[in-house]
Structure 1
């Protein structure tokens, strides 16, 4: 196994993609999620194998001024992922600039019961008006899909042991929405007398 793969966060070879206004479907997972833990501190090899990398936001903060990093981002090869404890409001200026460069952002779930990344997605959609793709990565389970889709995630890199066919069916469980969400307004049921 290559060193790049050892420094990546594991997920399925396919993602569950659920764009706003669209239907959920499976799509190839073209992005490697790099943990940022390579000894040299450099990016994983983007010329061989996976040509796109999600880098930690903390790594981006240190390296985003480098011309080659900016070029890779504008070329659609580098996006960022936010750790559950990243204070994105503290770095609003960097995120505003990043909206022009990042083709994809992700929020990491270090463990399924840590819900802080739901807040990250909601802040990106509501406060930063992020229009691009937001992916859930890390310890992402089928149980998190409905809530994730409500707060702003539109793609999910599920943990490798999760059944993708079962995951797709989660979005058909309910026909009525009782609260407004990023996707749509709540359902009003006409009273019949």
Structure 2
């Protein structure tokens, strides 16, 4: 049975989720928008079907090209300690130019959101025990970042050098 719609943080706002996450071997709802495992999406892509990428997905140039047409891409975090999804999101944004929604699903914790957003995620389905209002505040944990990210491609030292010139 598919998961019930949950509250979603997207574009730094709490939103109702119009997508239903249907993990492997889950029954799909008759109508509505669904997120399905990558193989299932590849068999029947469409505007109302989005792929769920496992954390061990190899993002080949061919796969990245296919994903450019996806209405959104969900990346699974099977454990909060599994950081491979960060790399997938960053590659999708920076190397392959994906501009749609990239959503973190699975074992997603509040203290990860700021770093996920810097890697290209713009939507988050939190773990059930996380407080959504606290999650929104966590997105603004830091006002400056030293390292470049998908949100600020220039490192802090270069920005400061440019501003002082």
* Pairwise TM-score range, normalised by the shorter structure: 0.7 to 0.9
Q: Which runs of 4+ in 1 moved over 3 A?
A: 185-192
Q: Quick check: 2:147–2:155 contact (8 Å CA) kept in 1?
A: yes
- What's the counterpart of residue 164 of structure 1? 132
State how far apart, in whole Å, the 2-side matches of 1:172 and 1:36 are.
Answer: 34
Cross-structure match for 1:151 = 119
Secondary structure of 1:149's match? helix
Deviation at 1:59, TM superposition (A): 2.6
* Counterpart for residue 58 of structure 1: 39
Aligned residues: 160
Contact 2:114 2:141 (C-alpha < 8 Å) held by counterparts: no
Structure 2, gaps ≥5 residues long: none
Where does residue 183 of structure 1 map in the other structure?
151
Higher relative contact order (CA 8 A, sep 6+): 1
Aligned alpha-carbon RMSD (Å): 2.2
In 2, Cα distance between the equivalents of 1:98 and 1:151? 17
2:30 to 46, 68, 72: 46
Equivalence for 2:79: 111
Map 1:67-78; keep pairs closer than 5 Å: 69-70=44-45, 73=46, 76-78=47-49
SS at match of 1:136: strand
Distance in 1 of aligned mates of 2:37 and 2:48:
14
Q: What are structure 1's unaligned runs of at least 5 residues?
A: 19-23, 64-68
Q: How does the TM-score come out when normalised to structure 2?
A: 0.87
Counterpart in the other structure of 1:131: 99
CA radius of gyration, larger in: 1
